[in-house]
Amino acid sequence: MKIIDAQVIVTNPGRNFVTLKITTDEGITGLGDATLNGRELSVVSYLRDHVVPLLLGTDPHRIEDTWQYLYRGAYWRRGPVTMAAIAAVDVALWDIKAKVAGLPLYQLLGGASRDRVRTYGHANGATVPELFDSVRARLAEGYQAVRIQTGVPGLKTVYGVHQGTAIAEADGVAGAPRLDQHATPLVEDWDTRAYLRHMPTVFEAVRNEFGPELPLLHDAHHRLTPIEAARLGKSLEPYDLFWLEDCTPAENQDGLRLVREHTTTPLAIGEVFNTVFDYQTLVADQLIDYVRSAVTHFGGVSPLRKLFDFAAQHQIKSAIHGPEDISPVGMAAAIHLDLAIHNFGIQEYSGYTARTHEVFQHAFTFEDGHLHPGEAPGIGVELDEEMAAGHPYEQAYLPVNRLQDGTIHDW
Ligand SMILES: [Mg+2]
């Protein structure tokens, strides 16, 4: 079997998605997600101009060899653009191999290790009463674990909190497009001391309202120094978090060591990581509890499987990044991995717009807060190209973040 065609398809059924479609001489096709939120067209060029010409005429069954060829052969290693492009090829080739076998991908990864995949959803509100409404909405949708994000008194806008409950609730599973993409970057504001004072009061209120059982998560979005993160982890210990996510930027992996030494709040990190090397110290020294990379930004199913096996040696679990900017193709690949690996932790899942479900027809299902990849051969996603063409690319950026004196800060 040979690859005879590879197309890059860009569509915006609510937000931009980049999809690679590989076609073989036997008429079998495979899909891979290459979406890099806010920098989408750089991956389109990387694939069209530099990767697709290398794929034509090659054997789609040689997944590992193709991965190594693209990773090592470029000389310029790592980085989100390169690894999103390689991920799209890797997932498309796994999709083809599983279709040839007539099996859902999870069967090729060792078969199911569980019956279904637990997820968590996002609850947010500018105020605590709005947050409570949002938590109730997620519980009504079936979620059994919830990420908590709120506004901070004195700040106009905060990560993960949309302005007004109507918008906040519109991003639910069956909802309208999220409004966190903009033609120019939205400018949010930040004050670490106000945030650190406010968060324990929020979690105390949520525990009082919803009881001790509900797993609660929180994302600090890389905004704290290690000692600030240590203080936050410590101050949230009475509220029994499932995890504290991205508490400090991890370019310096040793920063997490300082956090770890001060708190028993479980730590999760890795959604912006591209390779196992970003995790080397964190995993080997057991400085974290969950690895958070997405199939789409980590080079695909092949390297993420290896990361999970490495993490398992240190009692660290998976928690694949799954916001709305991971397309249903990337999400499907994630769910197959989740079902197959032993050290599964939890899967992030925010749902999609109704239009996205039409453009990307998928076998995976969401019920009672749990996902299942379905039994369709391959990853179980087909792209309606005609419908995709009706929703063209729109320029969009993620927000940026400034301190109150105007200094740019991590978003
Ligand atoms: Mg996150």
pLDDT tens per residue across span 180-230: 567 788 999 999 999 999 999 999 999 999 999 999 999 999 999 999 999
Within a domain: 382: no
* pLDDT at 178 exceeding the cut of 60: no
Across 375-390, b (16+ Cβ under 10 Å) vs e yields ebbbbbbbbeeeebee
Considering the domain architecture, whether residues 132 and 163 belong to the same structural domain is answered as yes
Strand partners, 148: 123
Q: Is 127 found in the same domain as 22? A: no
Domain boundary among 105, 137, 154: 105
Regarding whether 227 and 151 lie in a shared domain, the answer is yes
Q: How confident is the model at residue 175 (pLDDT cuts 50, 70, 90)?
A: very low
Identify whether residues 139 and 91 lie together within a single domain: no
76 inside domain: yes
Catalytic residues: 159, 221
The residue-averaged pLDDT of 387-405 equals: 95
Domain boundary among 48, 76, 105: 105
Enclosing H/E stretch for 130: helix 128-141
pLDDT tens sequence across 304-342: 999 999 999 999 999 999 999 999 999 999 999 999 999
Residues near 364 by beta carbon (within 8 Å), at least 6 away in sequence: 328, 331, 332, 335, 371, 372, 373, 374, 380, 381
Say how many Å lie between the CA of residue 373 and the centre of ligand 1.
23
Band of pLDDT at residue 164, cut at 50, 70 and 90: very low
Distance 321 CA to ligand 1 centre (A): 7
- 150 lies in the same domain as 236: yes
Distance 174 CA to ligand 1 centre (A): 21
Would 132 be classed as within a structural domain?
yes
Give percent of the chain with pLDDT exceeding 70.
95
Whole-angstrom distance, CA of residue 189 vs CA of residue 157: 6
Q: How confident is the model at residue 276 (pLDDT cuts 50, 70, 90)?
A: very high
Q: Return the CATH number at 77.
A: 3.30.390.10
Residue 408 in any domain: the answer is no
Residue 254 maps to a domain: yes
Of the pLDDT bands very low, low, confident and very high (cuts 50, 70, 90), residue 156 is: confident
Return the amino acid letter for 59: D
Which pLDDT band, with edges at 50, 70 and 90, does 90 fall under?
A: very high
**Do residues 101 and 34 lie in contact, with contact meaning Cβ atoms separated by under 8 Å?**
no
Answer with the residue of higher pLDDT: 357 or 185: 357
- Report the CATH number that the domain containing residue 174 is assigned in CATH: 3.20.20.120
- Do residues 230 and 279 share a domain? yes
State the total domains in the chain.
2
Contact between 91 and 295 under an 8 Å Cβ cutoff? The reply is yes
Write down the pLDDT at residue 360.
98
160 Cα–ligand 1 center, Å: 9
Q: Determine the distance separating the centroid of ligand 1 and the alpha carbon of 41, expressed in angstroms.
A: 23
The confidence score (pLDDT) of residue 160 equals: 81
pLDDT band at 158 (very low <50, low <70, confident <90, very high): confident
Asked if residue 191 belongs to a domain, the reply is yes
Q: Which domain holds residue 162?
A: 117-376
- At residue 55, the pLDDT reads 98
Whether 38 and 89 map to the same domain: the answer is: yes
Neighbours of ion ligand 1 (CB under 5 A): 219
Q: How far is the CA of 269 from the centre of ligand 1 (A)?
A: 8
- Do 97 and 172 sit in the same domain of this protein? no
Write down the pTM of the prediction: 0.95
Q: What is the mean pLDDT of residues 74-87?
A: 97
The per-residue pLDDT for 162 is: 66
| CA 314 to ligand 1 centroid distance, Å | 22
pLDDT of residue 180: 55
217 plus 90 within the same structural domain:
no
DSSP 224-253: S-HHHHHHHHHHTGGG--SEEES-S--SST
The yes-or-no verdict on residue 166 having pLDDT over 50 is no
Average pLDDT (236-257) is: 96
Residues 388-393: contacts with CB within 8 Å, 24+ apart?
388/9, 388/11, 388/13, 388/19, 388/359, 389/11, 391/11, 391/12, 391/13, 391/355, 391/359, 392/10, 392/11, 392/12, 393/10, 393/11, 393/12, 393/16, 393/40, 393/41
Residues 281 and 136 in one domain: yes
Mean pLDDT estimate for the chain: 94
Verify that 283 and 137 share a domain, yes or no.
Answer: yes
Residue-level pLDDT at 161: 86
Q: Same domain, yes or no, for 9 and 137?
A: no
* Domain assignment of residue 391, yes or no: no
Spacing, Cα 90 to ligand 1 middle (Å): 24
Domain assignment present for residue 30? The answer is yes
- Mean pLDDT within 110-117: 98
Q: How far is the CA of 323 from the centre of ligand 1 (A)?
A: 8
Residue 174 pLDDT exceeds 60: no
How far is the centre of ligand 1, averaged over its atoms, from the C-alpha of 322 (Å)? 9
Res 172: pLDDT: 39
pLDDT over 60 (residue 171): no
278-306 tens-digit pLDDT: 999 999 999 999 999 999 999 999 999 99
